[in-house]
Structure 1
Amino acid sequence: MSEFQVKQKQLTSHRLVQTPVIETIEKGQILLKVESFSFTANNITYGMMGDKLGYWQFFPPADNNDKQWGIIPVWGFALVTQSKAEGIEVGERLFGYFPPAQQVVMTPVNVSQQRLVDGSGHRAMLPPGYNSYKRLSGEKGYNPDLDNERMLLFPLHITSFCLWDRLQDNSWFDAQQVVVISASSKTSLGLGYALNDDVNAPHSVGLTSSGNMAFVQKVGVYDQVVSYNQMSDIDPNKPTVIVDMSGSADILAKLSAHLENNLTYCINVGLTHWDEFSAESAAESDRSEFFFAPGHIQKRIADWGPQGFEQRTIGFMAETAMKCRSWLEVKELNGLEDLAQAYSQVCEGKIPPEQGLIIKL
């Protein structure tokens, strides 16, 4: 058995650590075999924000006496191989937040037919959305044909939905155009689909690299596509809200200077350009925020109720995932060794935007 670890303060450093096979569990616990998971630039964001938002705490790493290493969580499927928890059967599958490792032990609480929560003590203070797991045996209309999209897109498109909801709930922050930085990212494209379907949405601009221009134009969800070296093509006279998926201090500074007083608000979300990130540029002010999707989700669950939230989001994610099938190329990797080989490409932004990595264990 092994697990994939990265160095917390130097994300490009990684290693595979051999771990003992877990053979026994305690009363109230379940043992899961991780079957498959996705790995995207979003996972690198988890690593970058590991200290600030608690991502390092979900899955304590093995062989970490020097406290330098961490486990980046991933979204995927796992099979229950042992159960000493009431109501959880061996052989059922869960979807949710797992370590890139072959095995994991959980302590189910708040068990319903549709879901369970991992009540392990070290996760008690972490965002509730990440501790909740879907029980596929209890899901109405579960479609295994959507498993790849569910791993690759659902965790990203829930953020896309929340961003669209945040924008329209605040009257687009009085803007007449929305500029999405790092427009080729899968979260950005999910937002693009939402804006494209919303008749009340302002003019949308996808800002991307020259190398990704053709791809973003082909997807066709933005009203205008502009490359980073042609920012002057963005109308500086329109009040503008920025949704920044890049985390690049340089790009954000140049765009802000171009828009001057017509920048009404900036929502900082992802870190596709994580190596260009500056905490100072992403600092919150009266005209900017760092967007934390789990916080928005909890707010809307309180507003709409769990069922109301699920009804609004599941339909959006399934519909958008189906639209993405026209361009999404799933690339399967076998085992953690293949992930270790591909990891540097993810860090360096060299995975083509149309490609999605699925790791099968």
Structure 2
Amino acid sequence: MQRQSWAIDIDRDDITQAELVSDPPAPLAPGEVRVQIDSYAMTANNITYAVFGKPSGLFGNDQGYWDFFAERAAPGRLPVWGFATVTESAADGIAVGEVFYGYYPMASDAVLGAGHIGPGGFTDVTPRRTALPPVYNSYQRITALSEYRPADHDYWPVFRPLFLTGWLIADQFEDEGDYGVQQILIASASSKTAIGLGFSLAQRVDRPETIGLTSAANVEALAAEGIYDRVVSYDQIMTLNATTPAALVDMAGNGAVTRVVHSHFGSQLQASIIVGKSHWDAQADVEGLPGPERQGFFAPGRIQKRVADWGGAGFGQKVAAAWLDFMAVAPRLARIDRRAGAVAALAAYHEMLAGKADPKAGLIVEP
């Protein structure tokens, strides 16, 4: 029985509208490869991709996340991080059976335009992708990843992009002298990006206090993980010392929490950084906030800066060392929740979109 190829199409204007569609394979052009997507993670980060799917200026031009895997006139195809195996190749230097880690559509299969092929992998050079950040277009052979270990396989799509973002935020704080603050407030502290940030900050000897902000129901369990110096519920923010210089990192675009923090700390809030928008349907409520202007954090831009500072190899070595340190604790931070097949993939998207996913689970879809 021949395997049926499928994809999930999402309405670019209404991300709640998603449907399974048949996606029969077309012949490959020279330089293209076809991959079967083995597994990918569904995280809150993917909802941020959907929110910013349409052009938003994040990339310094008019592209958005929908442009990676769909033409402008077509429904959106959500990018996800995962592993895929080459099933057909029209590109010299890439063989059938090779496995690559990278950025794929929420689908059973994908066609990639392979360029700059080398021992480590290749870059997708599909014309609509060439103006997009290089980090999203890089596909890495798992046999060439020095920090890849088979035991960590499922944690790569679950944690790797999110941990890297957290690590980059921590690096920015250190680079900026911690903005002169003595405490860093991290909203949506149970999210995987927040955990990556908290873990990375904790590796420093001389640093501000880290305070995880979360819902009251999550406080006890999150505090027990030992990622943050303190964990405080949202309804207890007003008990924090407002005379101590602070910074806010908002992982989910939670406007209500942002307003409380800005109002409580006022001029003592030295930086307010927004990272994601998984609270996509919440009222922003950020007009006329006291304190600093909010600034967005864009991981690819930070990567480009550090590659320029340290060189590609130097940057890679630092990330690899930090990742292996994190892998020593990741299994206790999230259990793997495995889903299989097209129907389960669509359900996983809706579950994450509705905010019903368990933050203690790493949701892996096997198409």
1:292 aligns with 2:298: yes
TM-score, with structure 1 as normaliser = 0.94
Q: CA-to-partner distance for each residue in 1:20-72, whole Å, 9 max, x for gaps?
A: 133x21221111111110000110001111221310100017xx96x5x3111
1:80 aligns with 2:86: yes
Q: Assess if the C-alpha contact under 8 Å between 2:246 and 2:270 holds in 1.
A: yes
Q: Assess if the C-alpha contact under 8 Å between 2:270 and 2:292 holds in 1.
A: no
Q: Assess if the C-alpha contact under 8 Å between 1:226 and 1:233 holds in 2.
A: no
Ranges in structure 1 where 5+ consecutive residues have no aligned partner = none
Q: CA-to-partner distance for each residue in 1:298-325, whole Å, 9 max, x for gaps?
A: 1111110000000001121222133121
Give the direction of change, closer, same or farther, for the CA distance of 1:319–1:297 in structure 2 (3 Å limit).
same
Q: 1:88 and 1:275 mapped to 2: Cα distance?
A: 42
Q: 1:318 and 1:19 mapped to 2: Cα distance?
A: 37
Q: 2:76 and 2:285 mapped to 1: Cα distance?
A: 21
- Residue of structure 1 equivalent to 2:151: 145
TM-score, with structure 2 as normaliser = 0.92
Alpha-carbon offset, residue 286 of structure 1: 6.5
Alpha-carbon offset, residue 287 of structure 1: 4.2
Q: CA-to-partner distance for each residue in 1:86-137, whole Å, 9 max, x for gaps?
A: 1111110100000011121112111110121011111111111000010123
Query: Quick check: 132-141 or 98-107, which moved more?
Result: 132-141
Q: CA-to-partner distance for each residue in 1:261-282, whole Å, 9 max, x for gaps?
A: 1101111101232222539669
Q: 2:285 and 2:139 mapped to 1: Cα distance?
A: 32
- Residue of structure 1 equivalent to 2:61: none
- Residue of structure 2 equivalent to 1:45: 48
Q: 1:244 and 1:188 mapped to 2: Cα distance?
A: 9
Q: Assess if the C-alpha contact under 8 Å between 2:269 and 2:292 holds in 1.
A: no
Letter in 2 for 1:163: I
1:26-41 aligned at under 5 Å gives the runs 26-41=29-44
Letter in 2 for 1:85: A
- Of 346, 361, 367 in structure 2, the residue corresponding to residue 355 of structure 1 is 361
- Residue of structure 2 equivalent to 1:58: 68
Give the direction of change, closer, same or farther, for the CA distance of 1:184–1:281 in structure 2 (3 Å limit).
farther
- Residue of structure 2 equivalent to 1:25: 28
Letter in 2 for 1:288: R
Q: 2:274 and 2:12 mapped to 1: Cα distance?
A: 22
Letter in 2 for 1:4: I
- Residue of structure 2 equivalent to 1:133: 139
Q: Assess if the C-alpha contact under 8 Å between 1:271 and 1:277 holds in 2.
A: no
Q: 1:9 and 1:282 mapped to 2: Cα distance?
A: 28
- Residue of structure 2 equivalent to 1:270: 276
Q: Assess if the C-alpha contact under 8 Å between 1:339 and 1:359 holds in 2.
A: yes
1:3 aligns with 2:13: no
Q: 1:74 and 1:333 mapped to 2: Cα distance?
A: 15
Query: Quick check: 9-18 or 285-294, which moved more?
Result: 285-294
Q: How many residues align?
A: 355
SS of structure 1 residue aligned to 2:332 = coil
Q: 1:2 and 1:139 mapped to 2: Cα distance?
A: 29
Q: 2:269 and 2:297 mapped to 1: Cα distance?
A: 17
Give the direction of change, closer, same or farther, for the CA distance of 1:277–1:49 in structure 2 (3 Å limit).
farther
- Residue of structure 1 equivalent to 2:258: 252
Q: 1:141 and 1:226 mapped to 2: Cα distance?
A: 34
Q: 2:110 and 2:293 mapped to 1: Cα distance?
A: 42
Q: 2:136 and 2:347 mapped to 1: Cα distance?
A: 27
Q: Assess if the C-alpha contact under 8 Å between 2:146 and 2:320 holds in 1.
A: no
Alpha-carbon offset, residue 165 of structure 1: 0.5
Q: 1:304 and 1:167 mapped to 2: Cα distance?
A: 17
Letter in 2 for 1:166: Q
- Residue of structure 1 equivalent to 2:215: 209
Query: Quick check: 274-283 or 166-175, which moved more?
Result: 274-283
Alpha-carbon offset, residue 141 of structure 1: 6.1
Give the direction of change, closer, same or farther, for the CA distance of 1:272–1:321 in structure 2 (3 Å limit).
farther
- Residue of structure 1 equivalent to 2:117: 111
Alpha-carbon offset, residue 213 of structure 1: 1.3
Root-mean-square deviation (CA, aligned residues, Å) is 1.9
Q: 1:141 and 1:270 mapped to 2: Cα distance?
A: 27
SS of structure 2 residue aligned to 1:173 = helix
Letter in 1 for 2:269: L
1:339 aligns with 2:335: no
1:196 aligns with 2:202: yes
- Of 83, 90, 97 in structure 2, the residue corresponding to residue 91 of structure 1 is 97
SS of structure 1 residue aligned to 2:31 = coil
Q: 1:165 and 1:117 mapped to 2: Cα distance?
A: 26
Q: Assess if the C-alpha contact under 8 Å between 1:282 and 1:290 holds in 2.
A: no
Letter in 2 for 1:56: W
1:70 aligns with 2:73: no
Letter in 2 for 1:243: V
- Residue of structure 1 equivalent to 2:329: 323
Q: Percent identity?
A: 35
SS of structure 1 residue aligned to 2:336 = strand
